[in-house]
Amino acid sequence: MHIVFAASECAPWAKTGGLADVVGSLPRALAKLGHKVSVFLPYYRQVAKAAPDAPVVIPSITVPFPTYNRFVRILDGGLAEGVQAYFVDSPELFDRESFYSTPSGDYPDNAERFGTLSRAVIEACKVLGVPDVFHVHDWQTAILAVFLRSTYYFDPVLRHVPAVLTIHNAGYQGWFPPRTMETLLLPWDMFTFDKLEQNDTVNFLKGGIVYADALTTVSRKYAEEIQTAEYGNGLEEAIRRRRGDLFGILNGVDYEEWDPAIDPHIAAHYSVEKLAGKKECRRDLLHAFGLEGISDDTAVIGVVSRFATQKGFDFIVDILDRLVQEDIVLVMLGTGEEHYERLLTEMAGRYSDKVRVQVNFDNVIAHKIEAGADMFLMPSRYEPGGLNQIYSLRYGTVPIVRATGGLDDTIDEEPNGGGNGFKFRGYNSSDLMAAIRRALDTFRNKEEWRQMMKRGMMQDFSWDKPAQEYVRVYERVIANRS
Ligand code: ADP
């Protein structure tokens, strides 16, 4: 089977979050199963820096707009582990400081940027090879499914090609003004509530939900949650209408990148059989954050996250005064909403002997936190899949999570001290504080703690099974369309 991925992020080239990890690793797992996989992503400034000499494979693709054409090149990003990467090169659209926005807001031409990406992928495939299935991701390429079933409807080589949409986060939908229909040459009769329209905007994600042949999301729990008003963000009705074609497939993780036995970014290697190296990683982490002389009895709590309300930072801010009364240190890495960056930095200043914050995107420090912390905190308000809690399990860093989405699917707390972590349900900070206190109680019992670490480290969340589940979804949509 030939599968074409179209996405706005792909590790290691372009990453802001879990989407990039999935688009970087699922194709490799599919290739291992014997499938042909190509991945298209924008040739952002950051990608161009990493691959400045990517050869041109298609020198010009015409993407029409109402009064002008855009001319886009396709570059060869190389074949690695069976996956062919292609970059969509349009300097006017992608040679920018960041992927989606500036500190003052989203780029105003995002509809045109990602509309062009999707059109270019479709056109490129007509030259490079028509796939058996398109796999698109989040609002940025959901619109590809819309093009396929509208302006490309009569294309003889594409009309039988299905599209699968994965929803990595229903909180981001790509809302654009109505005139976007004209800009992207989409027919006005699709601007209705049962198709692309939502609150008088063109909603890219909704378009994908309506027009993709199947929908997947990144955990079983989130597949249920997004059918409710609390988590569907206005799309619950559209999603419910497609529930027969909706599949929750828990994200796998790439253990070549996230395994303390081979991780090149950490101070010492360790595994479930030989745990000793974790101590060295802990020392190294504390040193990296300028925290010296911390006793082994003090719990090191780590956070790696986008600083966003989604991730529960309001809860963290709320409990911080209480948390620092406990025998803990807290090390946080993240970037995001300016308000949290400021607030957390200020709090780290106030409790400088216990709380440290690094505000940037730093893959090496992310690995060091996974390896060096004792506990990993993810009190998310909602969490479609969540990868960091799964990385934490492999690193023997016990997760403390809110019971939502993928966090609920992967972390178990059992009353007798069993399970692989700590979990709270309530949508409030006192439940979070109570879960941390339970973790601290268990942490004091060294043997019980070690058993919990080991249970997590032995779990397997590799891509093997989820990749097979995706193949079943592809087979189903291909069969339905032929
Ligand atoms: P989301 O995609 O919602 O941000 P996930 O848990 O699914 O959350 O994935 C987040 C990914 O991004 C993880 O691989 C995590 O390590 C990484 N990450 C997040 N923030 C940072 C940061 N500041 N520096 C380095 N890596 C980060």
| pLDDT tens digits along 361-394 | 999 999 999 999 999 999 999 999 999 999 999 9
- Tell me the CATH number of domain 276-457, given options 1.10.150.130, 3.40.50.2000, 3.90.660.10, 3.30.70.20: 3.40.50.2000
β-partners of residue 424 are: 402
Is it the case that residue 417 has pLDDT exceeding 80? Answer: no
Residue pLDDT, tens place only, 133-157 = 999 999 999 999 999 999 999 999 9
Query: Which atom of ligand 1 lies closest to the CA of 363?
Result: 25
Fold agreement (2-252+463-481, 276-457): yes
Query: Which atom of ligand 1 lies closest to the CA of 358?
Result: 23
pLDDT band at 21 (very low <50, low <70, confident <90, very high): very high
What CATH number labels 2-252+463-481?
3.40.50.2000
CA 445–ligand 1 middle distance (angstroms): 31
What integer pLDDT is reported at residue 104 of this predicted model?
A: 87
Q: Which of residues 19 and 104 earns the better pLDDT score?
A: 19
CA 465–ligand 1 middle distance (angstroms): 23
How far apart are the C-alpha atoms of 202 and 197, rounded to whole Å? 5
Nearest CA-CA partner of 212 in 247, 162, 174, 246: 162
The chain-wide mean pLDDT, for the chain, equals 97
Residue pLDDT, tens place only, 236-257 = 999 999 999 999 999 999 999 9
What integer pLDDT is reported at residue 284 of this predicted model?
A: 98
CA 26–ligand 1 middle distance (angstroms): 17
pLDDT band at 23 (very low <50, low <70, confident <90, very high): very high
Nearest CA to ligand 1 atom 12: 17
pLDDT, mean of residues 97-113: 95
CA 386–ligand 1 middle distance (angstroms): 9
Domain ranges of the chain: 2-252+463-481, 276-457
CA 162–ligand 1 middle distance (angstroms): 30
pLDDT, mean of residues 315-323: 96
CA 388–ligand 1 middle distance (angstroms): 7
Can you give the length of the chain in residues? 482
Residue pLDDT, tens place only, 152-208 = 999 999 999 999 999 999 999 999 999 999 999 999 999 999 999 999 999 999 999
pLDDT, mean of residues 90-114: 96
Query: Which atom of ligand 1 lies closest to the CA of 334?
Result: 23
Token pair recorded at residue 51: 């691959």
Is it the case that residue 113 has pLDDT exceeding 80? Answer: yes
| Three-state secondary structure readout of the chain | CEEEEECCCECCCECCCHHHHHHHHHHHHHHHCCCEEEEEEECCHHHHHHCCCCCEEEEEEEEECCCCEEEEEEEEEEEECCEEEEEEECHHHHCCCCCCEECCEECCCHHHHHHHHHHHHHHHHHHHCCCCEEEEEHHHHHHHHHHHCCCCCCCCCCCCCCEEEEECCCCCCCEECCCHHHHCCCCHHHCCCCCCEECCEEEHHHHHHHHCCEEEECCHHHHHHCCCHHHHCCCHHHHHHCHHHEEECCCCCCCCCCCCCCCCCCCCCCCCCCCCHHHHHHHHHHHHCCCCCCCCCCEEEEEEEEECHHHCHHHHHHHHHHHCCCCEEEEEEEEECHHHHHHHHHHHHHCCCCEEEECCCCHHHHHHHHHHCCEEEECCCCCCCCCHHHHHHHCCCEEEEECCHHHHHHCCECCCCCECCEEECCCCHHHHHHHHHHHHHHHHCHHHHHHHHHHHHCCCCCCHHHHHHHHHHHHHHHHHHC
pLDDT band at 109 (very low <50, low <70, confident <90, very high): very high
Nearest CA to ligand 1 atom 9: 18
What integer pLDDT is reported at residue 200 of this predicted model?
A: 98
Residues with CB under 6 A from ligand 1: 17-19, 21, 304-306, 333-335, 361-363, 366, 385-388
Is it the case that residue 429 has pLDDT exceeding 90? Answer: yes
- The pLDDT > 70 percentage for the chain reads 100
Is it the case that residue 482 has pLDDT exceeding 90? Answer: no
Query: Which atom of ligand 1 lies closest to the CA of 306?
Result: 20
CA 154–ligand 1 middle distance (angstroms): 40
What integer pLDDT is reported at residue 416 of this predicted model?
A: 79
Residue type, 222: Y
What integer pLDDT is reported at residue 283 of this predicted model?
A: 98
pLDDT, mean of residues 420-445: 96
